[in-house]
Copies of this chain bind each other. A is one copy, B any other.
Amino acid sequence: MTLHRKMARNLMITAIITVSGALYAAEPVQPIEPVKQVNLALAELGKKLYFDPRLSKSGFISCNSCHNLSMGGTDNLKTSIGHNWQQGPINAPTVLNSSMNVAQFWDGRAPDLKAQAGGPIANPGEMAFTHKLAVSVLESIPGYITDFKLVFGDDGIDIDKVTDAIAEFEKTLVTPNSPFDRWLLGDQQAINDQQLTGYQLFKNSGCAACHNGPAMGGTSFQKMGVVAPYHAKSPAQGLVAVTGKDADRFKFKVPTLRNVNMTYPYFHDGEAETLTEAVDVMGRLQLGKKFSEKENAQIVAFLNTLTGDQPSFQLPVLPPSSDNTPQPKPFD
C-alpha cells in the first residue's frame, strides 16, 4: 500500500469509527481498541526476538534497549545509544500503538512495522549487525529452529520471517483503557474538570488538527515550525529524505500523544524535556498561540489522562546459544 493510500484508509477508518461510536461521534479522538486479531504463536516468537540482543553485533543491544517496554516503549533519552556508545541522530519514537502509524520512523521511510524492524539491526549506528549475520546466529540456536518451524510450518529462518514475527508482536503493543478513553466511552468521572478544560483547549486551539484519531498522531507528516522556525539540534530533515521534494523538508511524522507522560523527552530531537515545554513550543511554533501558564497546565493535565494500560506479559526466556553460535563482537 502506498503512503497516500494508507493515509486515505486511515481517514476512512476514523470516519467509520466516528459514525458508529455515538458517544464520541463529535470528537476528533477515538479510544484505543484492544487487540482483536493476532497470530499468537507468531507474536510470542516476535517477543523473544524483540528482547534478544543477539540480533546485534555486540550481543548487548535488543529492540527493547531503545524501545523499552518498561518505559513507555522508549529509552527516555534525547537521542539513543547505539553500538560502541554511538550517539544516535534522533529521538527514539515509542513502539506503543505504532501499528496505527501511517508509516514508521520520523521521516516515514519504512512503510510498516515489518519494514521498520529490519532497520536498526543493520544500522551501523544502532545494532551494527547485518541481516545475514543475524539470521546465521538464529539458525545456530536449536530453540529458535524449532520455534520458527512451529510458527511458519517449514524449515529455515530468513530476515523476512524474523521481521514478520517482530511486527506481529508489536501489533500487540496497544494501550487501551486510559482515563481519557474511559471518558470517551461514557465514564464522566474518568477525568476531572481541569483535564476536561484542557481537552477543550486542545481541540479549540488546533492541536487536534494533527493529533487526532485513536493514536492522536501518527497519521500525517507536518512541518516542524509552521508559524515560526524551529531550530533543531538534530541534522534530520524529515520526509524530504524519502520523497526528495523540497516542500517536505522538516516535515516529520506527527508523534502519537498516547502515553505521552511516559515518552519524554519530546520532539524528533528530544530537546523538550517536559510536557510544559513541549506544549509551549507547539503552541507558539505550530499554532502561533502563546498559552498562558494556566492554559498550559490545563493542556498538560489533559495529556496526563492519555496513559493507557501498558502491555503486560511475562519476560521472555530466550533459547540459549549452541556451541556453533557465532560469538558476539562487542569490542571489535
Contact = CB atoms under 8 A, between A and B. Distances in A.
Measured as residues with beta carbon below 8 angstroms from the partner, the interface class of chain A is: 35 or more
B76 A328 contact: yes
Given A70-B51, A315-B315, A58 B76 contact: no
Contact of A274 (B51, B262, B273, B323): B323
Interface string A253-268: 0000000011010000
Interface of A: 51-54, 58-60, 65, 68-72, 75-77, 81, 84-85, 87, 261-262, 264, 273-276, 310, 312-318, 320-321, 323, 327-328, 330-331
Contacts of A85: 84-85, 330
Contacts of A77: 58-60, 328, 330
10 contacts: A54-B76, A58-B81, A60-B75, A70-B318, A84-B85, A261-B320, A264-B321, A275-B323, A310-B317, A314-B314
A36 to B, nearest CB: 22
A240 to B, nearest CB: 27
A77 B76 CA distance: 26
Q: Is the interface of A mostly helix, strand, loop or mixed?
A: loop
A330 B81 contact: yes
Contacts of A59: 75-77
Contact of A315 (B81, B261, B313, B327): B313
Contacts of A315: 69-70, 312-315
A108 to B, nearest CB: 27
Contact of A317 (B54, B70, B81, B275): B70
Nearest to A310: B317
Contacts of A320: 71-72, 261-262, 264
A60 B81 contact: yes
Interface centre among A54, A261, A276, A327 (most CB of B within 10 A): A327
A315 B327 CA distance: 27
A320 B71 CA distance: 7
Contact of A71 (B273, B313, B318): B318
A329 to B, nearest CB: 10
Contacts of A69: 315
A173 to B, nearest CB: 12
Closest 4 CB pairs of A and B: A85-B85, A274-B323, A310-B317, A262-B320
A307 to B, nearest CB: 8
A302 B55 CA distance: 30
Nearest to A75: B60
